[in-house]
Amino acid sequence: MGTSRWGLIPAALVSASAVLLFALRMPLAGYSVLAAALVLAVVINRALFRDLLLLAVGLVIISTISVEANISYPNIALMGTVLSLSVLAPYLLSRYYFKDHAIRFPIRTGQRWTRLERAYLPIVLLLGYLVLPSYFIGSGAYQNWPAVTAPDEIARLFVGVGFVGIWDELFFICVAFALLRRHFADWQANILQAVIFSSFLWELGYQSWGPLLTVPFALLQGYTFARTRSLTYVVCVHLLFDVVVFAVLVHAHNRQWLDIFLY
């Protein structure tokens, strides 16, 4: 961290571009704001420009497709490829072109999870159980995901929800948050990544009052990663939450199935 406070302007513009690209689906405006952010960053701080450029590369790659929930086989292949490239491209540019290690994926940290960290995992499941049914069913947001009845459809939904959950942590935490916190205080970097994170999730399907859930979740994931420095841990947290997401979506489309929720 060492960028002047003026550096927050281009960084905030990068986050704003995600709102335009994903939440509002205004690509021309989004690309224009992203370009303006990079121009400002060049003037303010070259190191900041380099890291915002890496983040911008990922955002542009994601923006080439619709990330609306679609579990058809061709879309799974397309979305899986594009999302993977959005992580791989910034990583390879950072590692082999800029010759640094700005983007890392700390799977094995050598540190045991604390009692608090272990206790937090069942709390995540409980919170998901208490909150997610009311959100998805009460708001009707579950309709943003396709109805699943056949075994292969259910399997594709399960794989899709899990894949996107893992990718969320790879991109928004290990790429976006990691790059931003090189220049700003953790709380500032966390807010910036949460805006990008929740914008993506809005297009995915977390609409209506979804941001009241996704923004705090994104902030908690950033905070948790800053404390634990463990990709493995934040992925576990996310996947536990996604198990409930999957179950609620199946139930919402087939009310006689998994009739275990309160809403």
Q: Is residue 126 part of a domain?
A: yes
CA neighbor of 79 nearest in space, from 248, 119, 71: 71
pLDDT at 154 over 70: yes
**pLDDT per position as a tens digit, 81-94:** 999 999 999 999 99
Q: Is residue 258 part of a domain?
A: no
Q: What are phi and psi of 192, to 5 degrees?
A: -65, -45
Domain that holds residue 99: 5-253
Q: Is residue 219 part of a domain?
A: yes
pLDDT at 135 over 70: yes
Percent of the chain with pLDDT over 70: 99
Interval 134-159 mean pLDDT: 97
Q: Is residue 154 part of a domain?
A: yes
Q: Is residue 101 part of a domain?
A: yes
**pLDDT per position as a tens digit, 6-21:** 999 999 999 999 999 9
**Residue 20 to residue 26: CA distance in whole angstroms:** 5
**Residue 123 to residue 249: CA distance in whole angstroms:** 20
Tell me the Ramachandran region of residue 165: left when phi exceeds 0, alpha when psi lies from -120 to 50, beta otherwise.
alpha
Q: Is residue 263 part of a domain?
A: no
248 CB-contact burial (10 Å; exposed 0-12 / middle 13-18 / buried 19+): buried
Q: Output DSSP code: residue 3.
A: -
Q: Is residue 262 part of a domain?
A: no
Place of tokens 């590369």: 57
Q: Is residue 261 part of a domain?
A: no
pLDDT at 176 over 70: yes
pLDDT score of 41: 97
- How many domains are contained in the chain? 1
pLDDT at 4 over 80: no
pLDDT score of 1: 61
Query: What is the pLDDT of the chain when averaged over all its residues?
Result: 96
